[in-house]
Amino acid sequence: MDLFSESEDQNRKTSIGNCLIEYKKASSILTPASGFMSSYDFTLNPYSGCSFGCTYCYAAFFSRSEEQRNNWGLWLQVKENALSLIKKYRNKGLRNKIIYMSSVTDPYQPIEKEMEITRSILKELLEYHQPRLVIQTRSPIVLRDIDLLSRFQNIQVNMTITTDSEKVRKIFEPLCPSNDSRIKAIKEINDAGIKSCITMTPLLPVLDPESFAIKLKNTGLTNFIIQPFHTEKGKFIAGTRSAAMNLIKELDWTDEKYKMTEEILLNHIPNLGIGKEGFKPI
C-alpha cells in the first residue's frame, strides 16, 4: 500500500455528497504487485479509498485504519502529487513493465472529471514510459481519455460489469454507474480499436443468463473474465449486508446457479477467462 508523508499539508478537505474528499501528498505511486496481481509488475492507484463504495469491496480491507474500513465509500484521498511521483520514473525503465491501474480504487472516480489525476498520469506514461498498461474501471468517464488510450502501444481497458439486473446493482453497487452505461462505454472503447475486456469480477446474481450472455457477446468484445461472488468475504457497509443477503436468498443465488450461469456464458463466449488465470494481461 502507498503511504502518505506525514510532514506535508494533510488538511485540505471537501466533500461530495456523503463522501469526504481529502487532498494528500503520497510518498509513492507504484506498488510492486503480488498475490492475485502477481502477473503484473506494479499496481498504480491515483486515489486512495473509493467513492463508489461497492458493498462487497475487498479493497476496503487494505484501508489503513479500522475507521476507514468501516466507512468504506465515504472517504476518498486524492493523490495530488501523483504526476510528480510518476515523473521520477523517467530514468528507471518502466517501458514494457506491466502496470495495473487500479487495484484498490477506481481510477475514474466521479471527481476525476475535474481533478484529471488519472489523465495526467496517462499523458506522462504515454509520452515518457510506454508501459504495458491495464486499466480497470466501472466508470464511463474513461471515455474522456480515448484520445490518449488509443495512442498507447500496449494497453487494455477492463470494464467491470457484475450483473444484468439494475435491482441487483442498486443493492450491491448503489453509487456506481448503471450496467447499460458501462456496457455502452466499453463497446465504444473496443470500437475505437483499444484492446478491451469485460470483467465479471465478481459475478453477482444474474436474472437471465442467456440474454446476458447474448448482450455481452453483441458488444463485439472477445475478452471476458469471470469470478464467483463470495457472500462471506468482502466489506459490507453497515445496513447493506442484510439487504444483499435477502436478495441472494430471494433470487436463490446458489453455487449451482453460479455454475449454470458460467456454463451458459461459456457456451456463448468460449474464451471466457476464469479467476486469477483469466486475470492475466491479454
Residue from 81, 105, 162, 199 binding ligand SF4 (CB under 6 A): 105
Does the footprint of ligand SF4 cover residue 76 (CB under 6 A)?
A: no
Give me 182's grid cell: 458501462
Does the footprint of ligand SF4 cover residue 79 (CB under 6 A)?
A: no
Give me 263's grid cell: 456454463
Does the footprint of ligand SF4 cover residue 54 (CB under 6 A)?
A: yes
- Residue 235 · residue 181 · CB < 8 Å: no
Give me 228's grid cell: 464467483
Does the footprint of ligand SF4 cover residue 53 (CB under 6 A)?
A: yes
Does the footprint of ligand SF4 cover residue 204 (CB under 6 A)?
A: no
Q: What is the distance between the alpha carbons of residues 271 and 12, in angstroms, rounded to a whole number?
A: 47
210-226: string of b/e by CB count within 10 Å (b at 16+)?
eebbebbeebebebbbb
From start to end of 11-170, where are the E strands? 13-16, 19-24, 30-32, 42-44, 47-49, 75-79, 98-101, 132-137, 155-160
Query: In the complex, what is the shortest distance from the CB of residue 103 to ligand SF4, in angstroms, rounded to a whole number?
Result: 8
Does the footprint of ligand SF4 cover residue 140 (CB under 6 A)?
A: no
Give me 4's grid cell: 502518505
Query: In the complex, what is the shortest distance from the CB of residue 153 to ligand SF4, in angstroms, rounded to a whole number?
Result: 27
Q: What is the distance between the alpha carbons of residues 152 and 220, in angstroms, rounded to a whole number?
A: 21
Query: In the complex, what is the shortest distance from the CB of residue 104 to ligand SF4, in angstroms, rounded to a whole number?
Result: 6
Q: Which stretch binds ligand SF4 (CB under 6 A): 50-58, 93-101, 241-249, 255-263?
A: 50-58
Query: In the complex, what is the shortest distance from the CB of residue 71 to ligand SF4, in angstroms, rounded to a whole number?
Result: 12
User: What is the total count of residues that contact ligand SF4 (CB under 6 A)?
Assistant: 9
Residue from 26, 37, 50, 122 binding ligand SF4 (CB under 6 A): 50
Residue from 2, 22, 80, 106 binding ligand SF4 (CB under 6 A): 106
At 172, which amino acid appears?
A: F
Q: Which stretch binds ligand SF4 (CB under 6 A): 47-55, 75-83, 122-130, 209-217?
A: 47-55
Classify residue 128 by its DSSP letter: I
- Residue 168 · residue 207 · CB < 8 Å: yes
Q: What is the distance between the alpha carbons of residues 270 and 62, in angstroms, rounded to a whole number?
A: 34
Q: Which stretch binds ligand SF4 (CB under 6 A): 7-15, 51-59, 243-251, 267-275?
A: 51-59
Q: Which C-beta is closer to ligand SF4: that of 22 or that of 106?
A: 106
Residues that bind ligand SF4 in the complex, under the rule CB under 6 A: 50, 52-54, 57, 59, 105-106, 138
